[in-house]
């Protein structure tokens, strides 16, 4: 669902990935990482979706570039990244970006 | 699928949306907008996925902020945006961001 981010500027990590057919606890780990991220300093929210073809986009939002760097280096997250390379992902693209402006709209 | 973006910096438009139940040509318009975007100056690629619950993320990539602004103002795109507000979206969040660094990996 939607992340309730504050006024820009803030940071976004755009993580695009193609899953392998291997499961081996992927769903549990993905859930654990979302929960772990939510407790990190500077965490602002996450939006995530994966299609039936195994291609997914997860965007996490952070208060600062330092918070992005710290999250990448977090110990349990690093273990999860290693398992991702070993098993779960066929291809991935991570992009670190600074959000300059945004626009939210909801039907009333 | 994955966008083959060049070396950063470049720009990303992160478009998160929740669809209504209304169809009325949404799929055709979405396809037409992807094709139209691909012909715009500064277009670098797009990644898009929508889940079964109607929540989707589309990230388009652009060579410059000017290219982002020009795409938002493109005539047929503006008509599509108006139809989106009128019919297709229950909620949306657009974020314009500058990509500072990225990392691509593919299983070999």
Q: What is the pLDDT of residues B17-60, one digit of tens each?
A: 999 999 889 999 999 999 999 999 999 999 999 999 999 999 99
pTM: 0.97
Residue of chain B minimizing CA distance to A92: B105
Q: What is the DSSP letter of B3?
A: -
Residue A6 pLDDT exceeds 90: yes
Residue B89 lies inside a defined structural domain of this protein: yes
Q: Choose among B16, B49, B104: nearest Cβ to A56.
A: B49
Measured distance between the N- and C-terminal CA atoms of chain B, rounded to whole angstroms: 18
Residue B105 lies in a domain: no
- Of A18, A94, A101, nearest to B96 by CB-CB distance is A101
- For all residues of chain A together, what is the average pLDDT? 97
DSSP code string of B15-47: EEEEE-S--TTHHHHHHHHHHHHHTSTTEEEEE
- Whether this model's ipTM surpasses 0.90 comes out as yes
Task: Measure CB to CB from residue B105 to each of A92, A102, A105 and give the nearest one.
Answer: A92
User: Are the C-beta atoms of residues A100 and A10 closer than 8 Å to each other?
Assistant: no
Domain encompassing residue B22 = 10-99
Query: Does any domain span residue A1?
Result: no
- At residue B24, the pLDDT reads 83
What is the predicted pLDDT for the residue at A23? 86
What confidence tens digit (pLDDT) does each residue in B7-23 have?
999 999 999 999 999 98
Interchain contact A47–B (C-beta under 8 A): yes
| CATH number for position B86 | 3.30.70.100
- Taking 90 as the threshold, does the pLDDT of residue A24 lie above it? no
What is the model's pLDDT at position B2? 97
A100 and B CB contact within 8 Å = yes
pLDDT of residue A97: 98
Number of domains in chain B: 1
In a domain, B107, yes or no: no
Tokens of B38: 């691909």
Give the chain B residue whose CA is nearest to the CA of A58: B57
**In which order are the strands placed within the sheet that holds A43-50?**
A43-50, A55-62, A10-19, A89-106, B89-106, B10-19, B55-62, B43-50
A52, A97, A107 ranked by CB distance to B98: nearest: A97
Residues above pLDDT 90, as percent of chain B: 96
In a domain, B1, yes or no: no
Confirm whether B4 is domain-assigned: no
Subunit contact A102:B94, Cβ cutoff 8 A: yes
Question: How many whole angstroms separate alpha carbon B53 and alpha carbon A99?
Answer: 26
Are residues B102 and A93, on separate chains, in Cβ contact within 8 Å? yes
Which chain A residues are closer than 8 Å to B89 by Cβ?
105, 107
* A37-47 average pLDDT score: 98
Q: A-B interface: how many C-beta pairs under 8 angstroms?
A: 127
Degrees to nearest 5, angle at CA B62 with B57 and B64: 135
The stretch A54-61 carries a mean pLDDT of: 98
Q: Is position B53 within any domain?
A: yes
Stretch B79-105: mean pLDDT? 97
Q: How far is B47 from chain A (nearest CA, A)?
A: 8
**Does residue A4 fall inside a structural domain?**
no
Is B64 at the interface with chain A, CB within 8 A? no
In this prediction, residue B23 carries a pLDDT of 86
């Amino acid at each position: 669902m939607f992340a309730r981010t504050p006024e820009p500027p803030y940071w976004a990590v755009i993580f695009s990935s193609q899953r392998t057919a291997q499961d081996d606890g992927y769903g549990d780990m993905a859930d654990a990482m979302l929960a772990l991220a939510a407790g990190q300093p500077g965490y602002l929210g996450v939006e995530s979706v994966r299609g039936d073809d195994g291609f997914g986009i997860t965007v996490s939002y952070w208060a600062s570039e330092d918070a992005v760097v710290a999250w990448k280096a977090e110990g349990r997250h690093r273990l999860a990244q290693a398992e991702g390379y070993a098993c779960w992902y066929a291809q991935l693209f991570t992009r670190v970006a600074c959000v300059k402006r945004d626009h939210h709209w909801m039907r009333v």
